[in-house]
Amino acid sequence: MTKQFLICLLSLLMFSGCHIKGSPEATTPDDTSTVFAVSDEMLSKPTTGLAPIEDAGNILGNAGFEQGLFGWQWLDWSKGWAPFALSTQYAYEGKQSLHLPVLSADRRPTVVWGGVQEITLADDIPECVDGYYYVENWTVKDWKQYLQLVIIDLSHDLGAKQGNSQLRYIISGSKEPPLSISNAQYLFMEKDRRDVPVIGKWTHFSVNPRADFEQHWKYRPGKDATLRVLFEGRFDYHKSDEPARGDVYFDNLYFGPKTATRCSGN
C-alpha cells in the first residue's frame, strides 16, 4: 500500500473525495463533498474569507460575482429601476458580491435595485433557490422597504391582459404583501417576518420554487420555459423628506437541484 494511497484514504474518510494520480477511477470531489463550519464571527464580517465554490447544476451564471457583473443585468428600460454595482469589499465567498445601493436620490415613490438573469429551462424548474444577503445603513420610516426575490415565467401568459405568472418572495423587511398585483403570489421566506432585515451579518435564505409554482399557480414551468429571476432591494410608497436608504449585498446565489448543502432544510 503506497503512501499516496494512504493519504487519499484518509482524505476520503475526512472529506469524501480524493484524486489519485494515474488512477482511471479517480474522481474530483464536487461542491457538496465538504461542509465548512461557518461561525457567527465570520458571518458578521463583510468578507468571510471562504473560498468560492462552483455549484454543479447551478443554472445561474456567475452566481458568486467572481467574474464581476458578467451575465447580470438590470431593467434599464423601466422608469422604476436604478443600476446596481459590484462590491470588492463585501463577499460571502470569494472576493466580490452584488451591491444594491438603495437610496432615494430623487422623488420617485418606488425604486428597485436588482440583479436580473433570464434563463431558458433545459428541464423542469429546479426545486432550490439559495443564497446569502448582507445589509447595512438601513433607513426606513413610513414607507415599504424590503429585500425580494422574484421569479417570473415569461412563457406562461395568464390571459385577459393579466401578464405572466410570478412568485414574489419577501426575503426580509416586510411583514405583509407590500403591493397588490393580480399576477403575483407573495410568499415569505422568514417564519418570523421581520420589519427590518438582519443588519451587519451574512444571512442565509432558500426557497422551493417548483413546489410553490405547483401550489400557487397549479402548474410547473417545464422544458424551454423562460424565467426571469430578480434579486432585489427596493422601496415603495416613499413620499417623505426622510431619506430611504440601505446598502444591500447578495452573494453565493444558487438556482438548481437540492444538494447536501443547498436547500437541505426545505
Cβ neighbours of residue 3 under 8 Å, at least 6 residues apart? none
Model pLDDT, residue 53: 85
| Residue 19 in this model has a pLDDT that exceeds 80 | no
Helix (H) or strand (E) holding 87: strand 85-87
CB distance 206 to 266 below 8 Å: yes
Task: Answer left, alpha or beta for residue 57, where phi above 0 means left and psi between -120 and 50 means alpha.
Answer: left
The two beta strands, 164-172 and 144-157, are antiparallel
DSSP 104-155: --SS-S-EEEEEEEEEE-SSSPPSEEEEEEEEEEEE-SSSEEEEEEEEEEEE
In this prediction, residue 264 carries a pLDDT of: 84
Whole-number pLDDT of residue 173: 98
pLDDT at 261 over 70: yes
Q: What percent of the chain has pLDDT over 90?
A: 81
pLDDT of 25: 32
Confidence at 10, pLDDT banded by 50, 70, 90? very low
Rg of the chain, C-alpha, whole Å: 20
Q: In terms of pLDDT, which residue wins out, 178 or 8?
A: 178
pLDDT for the residue numbered 162: 86
139 touches 246 (CB < 8 A): yes
- Residue 210, pLDDT score: 98
Query: For residue 95, which amino acid is it?
Result: K
pLDDT over 60 at 2, yes or no: no
What gap in Å lies between CA 99 and CA 37, rounded to an integer?
Answer: 25
The span from the CA of 211 to the CA of 217, in Å, is: 10
Q: How many residues in the chain?
A: 266
For residue 57, CA distances in Å to 31, 72, 122 come to 10, 18, 11
Q: Rounded to whole angstroms, how far apart are CA atoms 40 and 95?
A: 19
Mean pLDDT over residues 108-135, rounded?
98
Residue 45 C-alpha cell reads as 464580517
Phi, psi of 217, deg, nearest 5: -115, -5
pLDDT one-digit tens code per residue, 64-112 = 999 999 999 999 999 999 999 999 999 999 999 999 999 999 999 999 9
Q: What is the pTM of this model?
A: 0.86
Q: What mean pLDDT is predicted for residues 123-139?
A: 98
| Residue with cell string 418606488 | 110
Structural domains of the chain, with CATH:
1-30 (no CATH), 35-256 (2.60.120.260)
Q: What is the pLDDT of residue 35?
A: 52
Predicted local distance difference test score (pLDDT) of residue 15 = 33
State the chain's mean pLDDT as an integer.
88
